[in-house]
Structure formats: structure tokens, C-alpha cells
Amino acid sequence: MFGKKKSRPQIDQDQLELIEYAQKRIKQKKYLYAHFVIFLIGAVFLIIANTVLGIGKDFTILGKEWFLFAILIWLFFLIYHVFRVFVTHKFMGKSWEKKQLDKLVAKQQIRIDKLKAGFVKEEKLLAQSEVYNNINPANQDLNTKNTLIGLTIIVAAAENDAIGKGNKLIWHLSDDLKRFKSLTNGHHIIMGRKTFESFPKPLPNRTHIVITRQPNYKAPNGVIIVNSLEDAIDAARSDNQPFIIGGGEIYKQALAVANKIELTRVHDNFEADTFFPKIDSHIWKEVANTFHNKDENHDYEFSFITYLKKDA
């Protein structure tokens, strides 16, 4: 029932290609041979037609019989045919093209590898450079571990630095929300677990990174959970402009590593349970300030202020 199967000779792809190539070459040579024979017969026929049968007897070119030129032109085509079979097809066929291509690809690969090696070297130099490490002397660990990123704190704080109460924002300023949306759009936003839980749902078009000490904290799909600020910055490494969006605990830790603050200063004092740390003018330099008046959409005066870390 389970008799032995007849073994069939197996031909691999390379052998098949060789056989096809040999068949093709034989065909090319056969055609050339046929061409040669036809040429010989044709030449004899032309000579007979002119000299014996008298066809075009009076027609000469430069004093020579026309059949001489006809044979010469034909001979030229025959030589061209020989050249194609024995030179072009033999030495510049598909395999020759492939070899040339392989050579070019190999050359390009070497160039790409050299460029890559150059980039890696530059990156290492940047990471090790003193200037880079001096950006945040208070947090050498984060700096050496991360590439050069523009880490920005974005916050709205009252005159008394109040930022929240009962895990909620204290005010509603529509232009401030618009600014927050446009600045953070498409970026990584890093936040503490409490701030994350103050949102009804994750914000669209932003990658959320939530910091918690809880080992099994569950969050909706797409939200990245980490256990330290350092890991949060690491998770945002692909982004050249991640944002720290609060709250109070995270701002306190992030001030040491951030190099920019986008502050909305609300010009009033509020009762609160969460505060933003004092912005030290020895460390931070104000580089932009735009004042907004109260109006029907805004119950308070406020200013958009940008700070950059000195020496950053």
C-alpha cells in the first residue's frame, strides 16, 4: 500500500538556468550559421544575376558593378551578426548585466555602511560632549541616556502658581486649550497617573506616556505606561519635541530635565491643592510673552510666556 515512490531526477534552479542559457546560445549560433549559408548563396545568385543573366548590366556605382556593393552591405550585416553572437551576447548578456549590478550594489552598500558609521560616531560624540551634559547638570543620568531632545513643559498656572484642585483644572480658557492642542498635536505627552485619570478619555493624535509606581496599571490600548520619568523620556526618544503636561508631582521632577517651558500665566490667585514650582530666573530666561485680555470666552486675563533654560 505504501510502496516506494519512483525517484525523479531533480534539477535545481541554477542548473535550469544553465540549460536554458545553453539552448539559447545554440539557437543563436544556428541562426548565424543559416545567415552565413544564405549569404553565400545570395552572393553567388547576385553575381550570376548580374554577369550571366545581365540584370542591371549597365548600372554601375563609381565604375563598379552594383552586385559588389550589395554583397559588401550584406557582408557588413553578417559581420554585425557575428559580433552580436560572439561578443555582445557572450560577454554582455544577462549574467554580465547582473554582475555589473551586483558590483554597483556592493559599492553603494559600502558607502551606506561608511555613512552609518559616521552618524553613530557623531551621535556618540554629541552624547559625550560637555555642552550636552551641562544642559541639565542636576540630572546627568537622563542626559547621558537620552539623545538631544527639546523637552518642553507645558502648564497653565495662576499668579500664586495654583494649577489644580480636586484633580481638576481650576479655569476654562478656550484660547489656552487651543494653544495646548496645537503645540502638542502629533507629539508624545508625558504625564503623571493622576493627570491622566483627570481626562475623560485619551486625547486624539498624541502618544500618551503615563508615569505610575503601580506595577500592573491598566490603561487603554496605545497608552504607554512607565514607572519613572526617566523611562518616560526614553519612551519618547523618537520624538524631537515631547511635552511634559503635568501634574504637580511630575512638573517638580521634570523642571530639572526640561529645556523649555510654555507657561500660560493666569493673572489671578486661586485656592488650590496642586501648585507649579517657582520659576527660577537664574535658570530660566523669558524669551516670549503675549498678553490676552478678558473677554466673553475668557474670565481672566492671561499671558502666554515662553522660557528657555539658560545655557541650553
Ligand X SMILES: NC(=O)c1ccc[n+]([C@@H]2O[C@H](COP(=O)([O-])OP(=O)(O)OC[C@H]3O[C@@H](n4cnc5c(N)ncnc54)[C@H](OP(=O)(O)O)[C@@H]3O)[C@@H](O)[C@H]2O)c1
Q: Check residue 214 for interaction with ligand X (CB under 6 A).
A: yes
DSSP secondary structure of 195-215: HHHHSSSPPTTSEEEEE-S-T
CA distance 47 to 65: 9
Q: Check residue 175 for interaction with ligand X (CB under 6 A).
A: no
Which of positions 39-68 make contact with ligand X (CB under 6 A)? none
For residue 166, say if its preceding peptide bond is cis, omega within 30 degrees of 0.
no
Return the closest-CA partner of residue 266 out of 173, 164, 152: 173
The residue within the footprint of ligand X, chosen from 136, 151, 274, 307 (CB under 6 A), is 274
Which of positions 107-126 make contact with ligand X (CB under 6 A)? none
Residue 292 · residue 298 · CB < 8 Å: yes
Region from 47-55, 70-78, 118-126, 225-233 binding ligand X, contact rule CB under 6 A: 225-233
The nearer residue to ligand X, 46 or 142, going by C-beta atoms, is 142
Q: Check residue 192 for interaction with ligand X (CB under 6 A).
A: yes
Give the three cell numbers for residue 10.
531533480
Give the three cell numbers for residue 181.
492642542
Q: Check residue 260 for interaction with ligand X (CB under 6 A).
A: no
Q: Check residue 163 for interaction with ligand X (CB under 6 A).
A: yes
The nearer residue to ligand X, 81 or 145, going by C-beta atoms, is 145
Q: Torsions phi, psi of 97, nearest 5?
A: -60, -45
CA distance 1 to 109: 56
Region from 35-43, 104-112, 247-255, 303-311 binding ligand X, contact rule CB under 6 A: 247-255
Q: Check residue 195 for interaction with ligand X (CB under 6 A).
A: yes
Q: Check residue 139 for interaction with ligand X (CB under 6 A).
A: no
Residue type, 86: F
Give the three cell numbers for residue 98.
547582473
The residue within the footprint of ligand X, chosen from 227, 238, 289, 290 (CB under 6 A), is 227
Region from 2-10, 11-19, 122-130, 242-250 binding ligand X, contact rule CB under 6 A: 242-250
Residue 222, SS3 per DSSP: coil
Q: Check residue 71 for interaction with ligand X (CB under 6 A).
A: no
Q: Check residue 228 for interaction with ligand X (CB under 6 A).
A: yes
Q: Check residue 198 for interaction with ligand X (CB under 6 A).
A: yes
The nearer residue to ligand X, 70 or 157, going by C-beta atoms, is 157
Residue 138, SS3 per DSSP: helix
